[in-house]
């Protein structure tokens, strides 16, 4: 497969990582060689195989719908970049 | 104190010949003197370590100590520890004082162990040389021109340089076993699901597993006894009866069938590593084991499969770092999306960004089936190979790494060469099987060689038995780099 410069910019955009022209070009070269290595996967026919997402096939545990967490808002917000009156501050998104 | 086993230290503590405060101060002093040479630790907090030591001495005074009470343990900086700076090797978390304890840290605290400091690591555990850490490279104590391996490079270095009696690591593609091999120590990655992932900063959730790193198999067994246990806060934690991992250390090995995968001995292994492996296998035959050839036809696919699945899971896990609730936020930005983009561009290093981009791509529309689902199918084929092999043998052995430790800087510009360091180790993560590395001698430039021992699910006790029997008749694990 051939990765283009536009692909790199598109995935950086999807991943919310700022990337400039020079970085995009360097990244393109690296990702292309990594994907060439990954392509060796396509040499094996696995169409009849079930995908394996986890090594142990266990089902999701359920629990009673009761409150288990105590309020630690002040503690958790003490390490936030910017808070005000118990709220996390971000740049304005609504005019 | 320097070379003592955990059992010996525990005995001295119980008999009051030594206090935890003395032992802790001894290692803190060593770290202060020697860490500038190695950079094995990111954070030391004397006050907190000594407070734990004082508590441990109180437990010991009233006879309430267990095997690890009062013993200093170096904790990988991937484990959240309340009140401790927890960076995961990243600028992104350079200001993150954890408000809570990871499951693993809780268990060590309950056992009365002392957190002696947080060890250096590849950023978000992504690397095989510890060179991606934002906090600088770590040096291999056997040869400071060499890498210590990664991602648990600080942990391996700390044990090898005797800056701590033992350490914790995590292993997503080989991050306990590869640095253990390159630094000449012992390390085990347990079966997936045995050790809680709660509070262990996530890289690839279906592969990540924590485990101990120490001088010997006996030490590993004592550490595993504390680390393993069900945790409801980890959705893939397994509920099983508690095992005593020290219970079979002394069992003789006669009749043990060791499988040697044809693919692992075919090509790629350097001559010095092969020589050391041959000698170790000869030792096992003397101990009564027999070796049989097995095949793992899909083993060569481990690296490509791993480099689809791990980045895919990483891209999802690392989306939480957005500069809003914790961690790094860019200085200046024009709006919310720009704040995300700049915070992530500035907070993550090049290897982490590379893997996020790979993961984002393989999960994106139109490529999901061709890459992600295909890799999951091959993952099952790899697991089936191992299941088939275990019909003919009890455990599988081979080299942990294709070569001894490479030089600092040698592979840092070539991601693919770096990725191939984990060629033998990543299959155990993909399958979820337990695997360990033990030191078996030295190769080129007098750098250590590790033997890789892979077992079937939940066979940790057997692996530790097999490793301990070797260590009873050899002394490679007693050799010290310092």
What does the pLDDT look like over B68-102, one tens digit per residue?
999 999 999 999 999 999 999 999 999 999 999 99
B94 is catalytic: no
Instruction: Answer whether residue A34 is part of any domain.
Output: yes
The position carrying tokens 């700022």 is A18
What is the distance between the alpha carbons of residues B171 and B194, in angstroms, rounded to a whole number?
13
**Active-site pick, B151, B186, B343, B421:** B151
pLDDT (tens digit per residue) in B385-418:
999 999 999 999 999 999 999 999 999 889 999 9
Chains A and B form CB pairs within 8 A to the count of 165
Give the H or E element holding residue B12.
helix B6-14
Per-residue pLDDT reduced to its tens digit, B173-214: 999 999 999 999 999 999 999 999 999 999 999 999 999 999
Determine the structural domain holding residue A15 and report its residue range. 5-42
The count of domains in chain B is 1
Q: Which of A4, A41, A78, A48 is nearest to B298 (CA)?
A: A41
Range of the domain at B72: 6-239+247-254
Q: Answer yes or no: pTM beyond 0.90.
A: yes
Do the chains contact at B360 and A14, CB–CB below 8 Å?
A: yes
Give catalytic status of residue B76 as yes or no.
Answer: yes
Q: Does the residue A37 lie in any domain?
A: yes
Q: Is residue A53 helix, strand or coil?
A: coil
A28 contact B CB<8A: no
pLDDT tens per residue across span A29-60: 999 999 999 999 999 999 999 999 888 777 88
- Compute CA distances A67 → A63, A64, B231, whole Å: 11, 9, 18
Say if A63 falls within a structural domain.
Answer: no
Residue B378 in any domain: the answer is: no
Smallest CA-to-CA distance from B8 within B18, B112, B188 is with B18
B459 lies in a domain? Answer: no
Does some domain include residue B175? yes
Instruction: Give the Å distances, CA to CA, from A52 to A40, B78, B192, B305, B317.
Output: 19, 27, 14, 12, 19
Between the alpha carbon of residue B210 and those of residues B53, B62, B197, B229, B332, the distances in Å are 24, 32, 7, 12, 37
A52 contacts in chain B (CB < 8 Å):
376-377, 379-380, 383
**CA–CA gap between residue B175 and residue B149 (Å, rounded):** 8
Closest CA to B192 of B432, B31, B372: B432
For chain A, the domain total comes to: 1
Residue of A nearest to B353 (CA): A17
B393 is a domain residue:
no
Which of A30, A31, A79 is the closest to B96 by Cβ? A79
Provide the 3-class DSSP secondary structure of residue B111: coil
Mean pLDDT throughout A15-29? 96
Strands B72-76 and B114-119: parallel
Query: Is residue B344's pLDDT more than 70?
Result: yes
Question: ipTM of the assembly?
Answer: 0.95
HSE-up (13 A, CA, CB side) for residue B282 = 7
A61 CB neighbours in chain B (<8 A) are 232, 235
pLDDT at B45 over 80: yes
Residue that has been written with the tokens 């990582």 in this structure:
A17
A87 in reach of chain B (CB within 8 A): no
Cβ pair B49, B110 in contact under 8 A: no
Q: Does A67 touch chain B (CB under 8 A)?
A: no
A33, A44, A88 member nearest B325 (Cβ): A88
How close A57 gets to chain B, by Cα (Å)? 10
B272-B276-B279-B281 Cα dihedral, nearest 10 degrees: -120
On whether residue B157 sits in a domain, the answer given is yes
CATH number of B37's domain: 3.90.1300.10
Kindly give, in sequence order, each residue whose CB lies less than 8 Å from that of residue B121, ignoring residues fewer than 6 positions away. Answer: B76, B77, B78, B88, B89, B130, B133, B150, B151, B152, B153, B154, B155
Dihedral angle computed from the Cα positions of residues A33, A36, A38 and A41, in that order, rounded to the nearest 10 degrees: -170
A35 found inside a domain: yes
Whether residue B175 lies in the annotated active site: yes
Residue A2's pLDDT band (boundaries 50, 70, 90)? confident
Residues B4 and B22: their CA atoms lie apart, in Å, by 14
The string of pLDDT tens digits covering residues B252-304 is 999 999 999 999 998 889 999 999 999 999 999 999 999 999 999 999 899 99
In a domain, A38, yes or no: yes
B49, B175, B186, B237: the catalytic one is: B175
Q: According to the model, what pLDDT value does residue A1 have?
A: 65
pLDDT over 70 at B26, yes or no: yes
Domain membership flag for residue B169: yes
- Give residue B128's pLDDT: 96
């Amino acid at each position: 497969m051939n990765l283009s410069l536009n692909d790199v910019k598109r995935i950086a955009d999807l991943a919310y990582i700022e990337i400039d022209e020079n970085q995009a070009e360097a990244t393109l070269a690296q990702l292309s060689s990594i994907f060439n290595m990954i392509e060796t996967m396509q040499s094996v026919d696995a169409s009849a195989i079930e995908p394996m997402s986890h090594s142990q096939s266990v089902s999701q545990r359920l629990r009673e719908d009761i409150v288990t967490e105590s309020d630690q808002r002040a503690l958790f917000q003490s390490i936030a970049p910017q808070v005000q009156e118990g709220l996390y501050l971000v740049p304005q998104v609504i005019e | 104190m320097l070379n003592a086993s955990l059992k010996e230290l525990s005995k001295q503590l119980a008999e009051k010949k030594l206090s935890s405060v003395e032992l802790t101060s001894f290692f803190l002093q060593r770290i202060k003197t020697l860490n500038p040479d190695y950079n094995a630790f990111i954070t030391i907090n004397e006050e907190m370590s000594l407070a734990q030591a004082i508590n441990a001495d109180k437990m010991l005074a009233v006879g309430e100590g267990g095997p690890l009470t009062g013993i200093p343990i170096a904790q990988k900086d991937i484990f959240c520890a309340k009140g401790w700076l927890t960076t995961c090797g990243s600028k992104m978390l350079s200001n993150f004082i954890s408000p809570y304890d990871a499951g693993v840290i809780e268990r060590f605290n309950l056992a009365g162990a002392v957190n002696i400091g947080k060890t250096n690591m590849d950023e978000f555990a992504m690397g095989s040389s510890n060179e991606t850490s934002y906090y600088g490279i770590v040096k291999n104590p056997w040869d400071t021109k060499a890498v210590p391996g990664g991602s648990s490079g600080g942990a391996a270095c700390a044990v090898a340089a005797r800056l701590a009696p033992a350490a914790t690591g995590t292993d997503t593609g080989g991050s306990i076993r590869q640095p253990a091999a390159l630094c000449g120590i012992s390390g085990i990655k347990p079966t997936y699901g045995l050790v809680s992932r709660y509070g262990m900063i996530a890289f690839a959730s279906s592969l990540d597993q924590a485990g101990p790193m120490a001088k010997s198999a006996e030490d590993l067994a004592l550490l595993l006894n504390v680390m393993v246990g069900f945790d409801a806060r980890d959705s893939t934690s397994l509920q099983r009866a508690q095992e005593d991992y020290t219970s079979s250390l002394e069992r003789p090995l006669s009749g043990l069938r060791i499988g040697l995968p044809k693919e692992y001995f075919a090509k790629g292994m350097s001559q010095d590593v092969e020589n050391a492996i041959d000698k170790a296998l000869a030792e096992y035959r003397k101990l009564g084991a027999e070796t049989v050839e097995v095949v793992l036809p899909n083993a060569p696919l481990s690296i490509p499969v791993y480099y689809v699945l791990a980045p895919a899971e990483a891209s999802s896990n690392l989306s939480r770092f957005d500069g809003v609730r914790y961690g790094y936020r860019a200085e200046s930005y024009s709006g919310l999306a720009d704040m995300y983009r700049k915070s992530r561009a500035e907070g993550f290093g090049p290897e982490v960004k590379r893997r996020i981009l790979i993961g984002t791509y393989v999960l994106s529309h139109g490529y999901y089936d061709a890459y992600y689902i295909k890799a999951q199918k091959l993952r099952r084929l790899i697991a089936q190979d191992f299941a088939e092999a275990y019909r003919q043998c009890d455990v599988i052995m081979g080299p942990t790494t294709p070569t001894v430790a490479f030089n600092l800087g040698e592979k840092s510009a070539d991601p693919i060469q770096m990725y191939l360091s984990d060629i033998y180790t990543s299959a155990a993560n993909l399958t979820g099987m337990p695997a360990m590395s033990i030191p078996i001698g030295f190769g080129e430039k007098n750098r250590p060689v590790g033997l890789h021992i892979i077992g079937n699910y939940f066979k940790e006790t057997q692996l530790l038995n097999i490793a301990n029997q070797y260590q009873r008749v050899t002394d490679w694990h007693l050799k010290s780099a310092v």
